[in-house]
Amino acid sequence: MKKQPLHVYPPWFLVRIIVGIIFIYSGMGKLLTPLAETRALFYQYAFLPAFAVPWIALLFPWVEFITGSFLVLGYMTRLAATTIMGFTFCFIVLLGSELLLKGHFPQDCGCFAGGWKLPTPAIIFMDVVNFFMSLQLARLRDHRWSLDQWLKSN
């Protein structure tokens, strides 16, 4: 396997940190919000089955927070990036399906649970960017300045 040149790593290190922080912030926002409010955010989506919403509202913020933390730390980096890539793909499909099924986006997508408010098209754009950034992070075999690299060398 050909090694990546050193000049490739600084931008991807920053991308890893930024995408990870976005997911930490998003998960933390939902974790600090009462569970009933988080459930209400998910219930507004026609595409989500009602029986699954309580479980999604309970588990999803934790997975989002932990995955973002792993990405920032560089721990199981490729798995964390692949998971975030899957999340962002699901977010794009979920928001797009709302537009197709209801003819409009939800009032509050619930992405940051009462924190950062962005218009839904901006959220979709951010998800598309996060998807492609996560795809590249998942493709990189060696993540400099990461816990993975430190554990591999010890």
- Written as one string, the DSSP assignment of 16-54 is HHHHHHHHHHHHHHHHHS-HHHHHHHHHT-TTS-GGGHH
Q: pLDDT tens digit string along 98-154?
A: 888 777 777 767 777 666 777 888 888 999 999 999 999 999 888 778 888 888 887
Instruction: Say yes or no to pLDDT of 61 above 80.
Output: yes
Mean pLDDT of the chain: 86
Output the pTM of the full model.
0.85
pLDDT at 10: 66
Q: What is the DSSP letter of 113?
A: T
pLDDT at 150: 85
In a domain, 83, yes or no: yes
Q: Is-contact 95 120, C-beta < 8 A?
A: yes
Task: Say which residues have a Cβ less than 8 Å from residue 89's Cβ, sequence separation at least 6.
Answer: 131
Nearest 5 degrees, angle CA 66-CA 67-CA 68? 90
pLDDT at 115: 66
Q: Between these two residues, 105 and 30, which has the higher pLDDT value?
A: 30
Helix ranges (H only) for the chain are 9-32, 35-43, 53-73, 77-102, 120-139, 147-153
Enclosing domain of residue 64: 6-149
In a domain, 1, yes or no: no
Structurally, how many domains does the chain consist of?
1
Q: Between these two residues, 54 and 41, which has the higher pLDDT value?
A: 54
Q: Is-contact 113 28, C-beta < 8 A?
A: no
Query: For residue 116, which of 17, 22, 18 has the smallest C-alpha distance?
Result: 22
